[in-house]
Structure 1
Amino acid sequence: MLAALSIRDIVLIDRLELSLDKGLCTLTGETGAGKSILLDSLGLAIGARADAGLVRQGAEQGSVTAVFDLPADHPARALLEENGIDTDGDLILRRVQTRDGRSRAFVNDQPVSVGLLRQLGDMLVEIHGQHDERGLLDASGHRAILDAFGGLEPKLREVRKLWAAASAAREALAGHEAALAKAKAEQDYLTHVVGELDELAPEPGEETTLAEERTLMMHSEKIAADLAEAEEALSGDGGLDARLNIALRRMARVAEQAGGRLDGAIAALERTLNEAAEARDQVAQALRAMEFDPARLEHVETRLFALRAAARKHNVQVDSLAALAETLRGQLAEIEGGETKLRELRQAAEQASAAYKSAAQALSEARAKAAAKLDKEVMKELKPLKLDKASFRTQIDVLAEGGPDGLDRVSFLVSTNPGAPFGALIKIASGGELSRFVLALKVALASRGSAPTLIFDEVDAGVGGAVAEAVGLRLAELSREVQVLVVTHSPQVAARARHHFRISKNEAGETKAKKDARLATRVETLDADARREEIARMLAGATVTDEARAAADRLIGGHP
C-alpha cells in the first residue's frame, strides 16, 4: 500500500507530507483546491510523463517521493531484484522534475530509468478517472484481467511455452524446406563439380610440393654443373682426398718417433677423410637426382595449372579444394537424406502444434468458465450501484491462428438498458455510469491480481442520494481487500471513509504586501470533529448549518 507521499515545489504545493493507512481514504475539498495536483504528483512518482510545467513558480525543481509498504512476495520486489536494486524494507520511489524539462528517477535512492519506474508504478497503483481510457477501459488488457480473475496464469504460462516450442518447430521446418529446395535446384551442378574435384583428387599441401619441385627442375642444369665441380674437388689426383691421404701417410711414418704428439692430428685427419667420403657420396647422389626430365617437368606444370584453375573457378585456395569437395559431397548427401529429415521435422512441427492447440483449447474452456463467473459477480455489483437495468458481458472471440496468449480475444461489453446493443464500456456508458461500471469491476476483481493501491478520481461524479450511498458502500467493501483512495465531492462517500483528508488552498510565505503572497495547496488529516464539519460543509455548501451537522452525523452513523 501507499504509506506516505512527500511533495516539494509541484504547482501549488510548496511542501507536503502525507501519511496514509489501510482502508478507505477520502480526499475532499472545494473545487480548485488542488486535488488533481495531488494525483498528478503521485503520477509523476510512479512514472508518468515528465512536464516542466509541474515545477512550482519560482523554484528550479520539484520532487515527489512515494513510500510503499509491500509484502515480501510482491512482484515489484522480484522486478527490482532482477535489476540489481536492494528491496529490503519499504519501497521508495522518487522523481525529480527540473524547470528545464529534465527529470530523474530513483528507487530506494538508486537511479533508475523512467521505464522501470513506470513498470513498478503499474504494479503498485491503479488510477481510475471518468476519462481514463487505460486500465479496465483498455480492451487490450481485458484478457490478462480475466486470466488473473480466473487464476489461469499457470495455464497461460504452459500455453506460452508450447507456443514458443511450436514456433521453433515451424521455423526449423521452414528453414529445412528452403534449404532442401535450394539444394535440389543445384543438385546437377553439385554432382558435376564433385565429379570434377574427385577426378582432380587434390591433396592438402600439394601445390607447395609441386611448385618447389618445378623450381628445382627449372634450375637443375646449373645445379648439376656446380655439383660436378664440387665432386671433382673432393676426388681425383688433385682432390681433397688425395692431399689428405698424403698428409696422413707422412705423419704416420714419423708418429712413433714423435712420441705420441701427432696422435691427435692423425685422428682428426682420419675423421676428416671419413666425412669427406660421406660428403662425396651425398654430392654424387644429388648429382644423379639432378638429371633433367622434360616429361616430369611438363607433368608438374600441367598439374599445377589444373589445381590453380580449379581454385580460381571456385574462389578458394588450392589447399581448400579437398575440403570443398567434402562439403559439396555433404550437401549431396543432405539432398539424399533431406526427405527423411523433412518428414521428421514436419512430424515434430505437427506434434508441437497439436500440443499447443490442446493446451490453448483447455485455456479457452477455462476462460469461458471464468468469464461466466466474472459476469455473474459484476452483475451482482451493478444493482447496488443503481445500474440494475444494465448488463455486463465478457465476450470471447476465437482467433483463427492463435498466439502466445492462446486462441482468444477478450472484451468487456456493457448494455445500459434492456434490449440495447452491447458495446465497449468506454463508448456505451456515460460519465457517471462509466465510473460505477469500473467500480463494479474492481469490486469483483479486488482479491485477484489488483494493485495494492487503487485511486478513484471522482468516481461518484454525476450521482447523488441513494446512488452515492451505494458507491460509498462498494468502495468501503473494496477497501477490505486493498487500499482505496477516493477524490470525492459526495458526502455519502466521505462518510464511509476510514481516513479523511481535506485539501485546501491558502496563502503561503511571509510577505509584506498581499500582492507578493503565493497560493499553496494544503492537506489536513481530519479528526472526528473536523470530519463532521467537512461532511456538513459538503452537504450545506458555503454556510454550514446545524441541520447540515445533524445530517452529517446521520451519514457517519456507525461508519468508521
Structure 2
Amino acid sequence: MLRSLDIRDLLIIDRLELSFQPGLNVLTGETGAGKSILLDALGFVLGWRGRAELVRTGAEQGEVVAVFDLPEAHPARTVLADAGFPVDDELILRRVNTVDGRKTAWVNDRRASGEVLRALSDTLVELHGQHDDRGLLNPRGHRVLLDEFAGLAPQVSKTRAAWRDVSDARRALSAAETALAAMKEEEDFLRYAVGELDKLDPQPGEEADLDTRRRMMQAADRIREDIVRALSALSGDGAEGMMGDAVRWLEGASDKADGQLDGAIDALGRAMVELGEAQQGVETCLSALAFNPAELEETEERLFAIRGLARKHGVLPDELGDFANDLRAKLATLDAGEGDMAALRSAVSAAEGIYLKAADDLTARRVKAAKSLDKAMAAELAPLKMERAVFATEITPADAGPDGHDAVAFTVATNPGAPSGPINKIASGGELSRFLLALKVCLTSGTSGLTMIFDEIDRGVGGATADAVGRRLAALAAEGQVLVVTHSPQVAAKGTHHWRVEKRVTKGVTLSTVTSVAEDHRVDEIARMLAGDTITDEARAAAKALLQN
C-alpha cells in the first residue's frame, strides 16, 4: 500500500506531502489543476518512462519520495531480496532529477537502477490511465491480457523456448543447405584439383631438394673435369703413388739412418690416411655428379609442376600437402552432406513436434481461460449497468510464432439481439471505460498488496452509470487501496478519503497544491463538481444525497 508521497520542485509543484490511506482515495479538481502531475511524480519515482523535463523552473533538481507498506509475503520482498536490498515492513523509494537531466534513485537509502525500480513497480502499483483502453482496442494486446488473466506465463515461456529451438534448428539446416549448395557448385573443381594433387603427391621440403639437385646437375659438366683432374692427381699415378714410393724409399734407408727417418715415415703414413679420405670424398662427389641427362629433365619437370600448382592455388610449395587435405575434407563433407542433411531435417522435425505440443497445450489452456474470463466479465459488467452486454473472448488459429498459434480478440454485443463485433467498433467511449474497469478488476483479482490507480476511468459516463462505476471502485477498494483521479461527483462521493487539487499563481509563478478535503467540506467540493463555480442550494442538496447514498 502507498502510504505517502513527498514531491519537491517537480513541474509546477514546489513542495507537497501527501499521506494516503487504505480504501478509495479520490482526487478532484479543475481540468489543468495538476491532478495528472501527481501520477507523473509517482511514475517518476517508480522508474516509469515519462516526461523528459520534470524539474520545476528555477530549481536545481526535483525529488520524489514514496513510502510503501510491505505486508508479509508481498511480492516486492522477493524483488528486493533478489536485487540484494534489505527487506523490511517499510519500503522507501527516492529519486532525484537534476536540471541537466541526470536521474539518481535510492531504495531504502541504497543506490538503485531504473530496472530495479520498474521491477518493484510491477508488484506495487497498477495504473490505468485515461487512454489505457487503447489496449482493449488493439487485438494484438488481447492475447497478452488473456494470458495474464489465466497466469499462463510458465506455458508461454515454455512455448517461446520451443519456438527458439525450432528457429535454431531451421537456421542450422538452412546454413548447411547453403554451404552444401556452394560446395556442389565447385564439386568439379574439387575433384579435379584433388586428383591433380594426388597424382603429383608433393612432399614437404621436396621443392627445395629438387631445386638443389637441379642446380647441381646443371653445374656438373662445368666442374666434373676439374674434379677428375684432382682425383687423378690424388690417385696412384699422382700423389698417392709418389707418396708410396717415398715411404718405400725411406723405409729402405731407415735402418742405416739411426732412427732419424722414423718421424718422417710416421708423418707420411698419416698423410697417406688423410689422402685416402680425400680421394674417397672426391670419388663420392664424382658419383653424385654422374647423372643421366634424362634425370635433369625429369627433375625440372617435377620442380616446375610443383611450383605451377602452388601458383595456381595461391599457396607455398610446402603447403600443397595441407591444401590437398583441406580439399579432401571438403569433398568428404560434400559426400557426407546428404547424410548430414537428413540428421538436420530430423532435428527440425523433432523441434517442431515439441513446439506443436507446447503450442497445443497453450491453446487448450487459453480456451479454458477464455470461458472463465467471459464468465468473470459478465459478473463485473452487471454492477456497472451493463448487465445486458455480452463480452466474449474469441480464439482463432493464427500463424505459428513464439507465443503459440492463436489469435485472441475481445468482442462485445452491447444490446440484446445485436450482433457482436470488435470492441473498438461496437462499444462507445463510456462503454469502453466500463469494459476496461471490469477487465482490470478481473485481471487483478487475487493480487494482494497492489495499489490500483485509475486516471479518469469514469470518462464518458454520468448519472446512474457513474454512480455504478463509483460503487464498483469502492467495492474494489474495500479489499486494498485504490486511487482515483476523477471529474465525476458520483465517483468522488464514494471515496473514503478525498483530496482537492488546485492551481494558484503567486508572484507570477504558477504552482499546484493538494489539500485534504475534510468531511464537512466535501459537500461543497462535490457541489462544485455538480454546479461549477457558483454553488447553489440545489447543488449542495444533491451533493448531500450523493454522500449519504
Q: What TM-score, normalized to structure 1?
A: 0.78
Separation of aligned partners in 2, 1:93 and 1:362? 44
Residue 17 of structure 2 is matched in structure 1 by: 17
- Of all paired residues, the percent bearing the same amino acid is 50
Q: Deviations over 1:137-180 (max 9, x none)?
A: 44332212211211222222221122122222222333333344
Query: Is the Cα contact below 8 Å between 2:454 and 2:483 reproduced in 1?
Result: yes
Contact residue 130 and residue 431 of structure 1 kept, 8 A: no
1:34 equivalent to 2:34? Answer yes
The answer on whether the counterparts of 2:79 and 2:119 sit within 8 Å (CA) in structure 1 is: no
Which residue number corresponds to residue 513 of structure 1?
Answer: none
Superposed CA offset, 1:494-543 (max 9, x none): 344344333223455xxxxxxx3533212234565565765565567657
1:179-230 alpha-carbon deviations (Å, 9 max, x no partner): 4444444444433332222212222332233233334444455666787798
Aligned to 2:195: 195
Aligned residue in 1 for 2:364 = 365
> For 2:383, what is the secondary structure of its paired residue?
coil
Q: Post-superposition shift, 1:371?
A: 0.7
Root-mean-square deviation (CA, aligned residues, Å) is 4.6
How many aligned positions are there? Answer: 532
Match of 2:465 among 451, 464, 467: 467
SS of 1:383's equivalent in the other structure is helix
Letter in 2 for 1:325: A
Letter in 2 for 1:194: V
Which residue type is aligned with residue 145 of structure 1?
Answer: L
Q: Report the alpha carbon displacement of residue 76 of structure 1 after superposing the two structures with TM.
A: 10
Q: Structure 2 counterpart of 1:494, which letter?
A: A
Q: Establish whether residue 155 from structure 1 lines up as the match of residue 146 from structure 2.
A: no
For residue 176 of structure 2, what is the aligned residue in structure 1? Answer: 176
In structure 1, the partner of 2:351 is 352
Question: Does structure 1 residue 493 correspond to structure 2 residue 491?
Answer: yes
Asked if structure 2 preserves the Cα contact closer than 8 Å seen for 1:66 and 1:94, the reply is: no
Q: Which of 485, 509, 524 is 1:518 aligned to?
A: 509
* 1-structure distance, mates of 2:292, 2:85: 87
* 2:445 counterpart (427, 444, 447): 447
Structure 1 Cα separation of the partners of residues 272 and 453 of structure 2: 112
1:110-121 alignment to 2 at 5 Å? Answer: 110=111, 112=113
Q: Could you list the runs of 5+ residues in structure 2 that have no partner in the other structure?
A: none
Q: 1:51 to 1:330 in 2, by over 3 A?
A: closer
Aligned residue type for 1:519? T
Q: Aligned in 2, Cα 1:23/1:311: closer, same or farther, shift over 3 Å?
A: farther
Deviation at 1:374, TM superposition (A): 0.3
In structure 2, how many angstroms separate the alpha carbons of the residues matched to 1:380 and 1:466?
A: 18
Distance 1:6 1:305 in 2: 90
Asked whether 1:303 is paired with 2:302, we answer yes
Write out aligned runs for 1:94-133 (5 A): 94=95, 96=97, 98=99, 102=101, 104=103, 106=105, 108=107, 110=111, 112=113, 125-132=125-132
Shift of 1:353: 1.5
Question: What amino acid is aligned across from residue 59 of structure 1 in structure 2?
Answer: A
Q: Deviations over 1:238-294 (max 9, x none)?
A: 99x99xx99xx9xx99xx999xxxx9xx99999999788656645553453244553
CA distance in 2, matches of 1:279, 1:75: 99
- CA-CA distance at 1:14 after TM superposition: 1.2
Question: TM-score, structure 2 length as denominator?
Answer: 0.79
Report the Cα distance in structure 1 between the residues aligned to 2:79 and 2:113, rounded to whole angstroms. Answer: 15
Structure 1 residue 544: deviation in Å?
6.8
Once the two structures are TM-superposed, the CA of residue 111 in structure 1 deviates from its matched residue by 7.4
Aligned mates of 1:521, 1:463 — CA distance in 2: 27
Closer/same/farther in 2, CA of residues 326 and 433 from structure 1, 3 Å limit: same
The question of whether the paired residues in 1 share the 8 Å contact of 2:136 and 2:424 is answered with no
How does 1:42-53 map onto structure 2 within 5 Å? 42-45=42-45, 46-52=47-53
State the one-letter code of the partner of 1:478: L
Asked if the contact 1:159/1:359 (under 8 Å) is kept, the reply is yes
CA deviation profile, 1:278-322 (whole Å, cap 9, x unmatched): 566455534532445533332222112112222333333333333
Query: SS at 1:194's partner residue?
Result: helix
Q: Assess, with a 3 A threshold, how the Cα gap between structure 1 residues 120 and 219 changes in structure 2: closer, same or farther.
A: farther
SS at structure 2 position matched to 1:207: helix
Deviation at 1:420, TM superposition (A): 3.6
Q: Is the 8 A contact 2:394 2:409 kept in 1?
A: yes
Letter of the 1:524 counterpart: T
In the superposition, relative to structure 1, how do residues 225 and 127 fare at CA in structure 2: closer, same or farther (>3 Å)? farther
Does structure 1 retain, via aligned residues, the 8 Å contact 2:204–2:318?
yes
* Contact kept in structure 1, 2:414 and 2:426, CA below 8 Å: yes
Offset, 1:444: 0.8
Of residues 68-77 and 322-331 in structure 1, the stretch that sits farther from structure 2 once superposed is 68-77
What SS class does the counterpart of residue 384 from structure 2 fall into?
coil
Q: Counterparts of 1:392-541 in structure 2 under 5 Å?
A: 392-399=391-398, 401-447=399-445, 452-479=450-477, 483-508=481-506, 516-526=507-517, 534-535=525-526, 538=529
Please say which of residues 453-462 and 287-296 is displaced more in the overlay.
Answer: 287-296
**What is the alpha-carbon distance in structure 1 between the residues aligned to residue 160 and residue 121 of structure 2?**
25
Task: Specify the SS of the correspondent of 1:175.
Answer: helix
SS state at 1:384 partner: helix
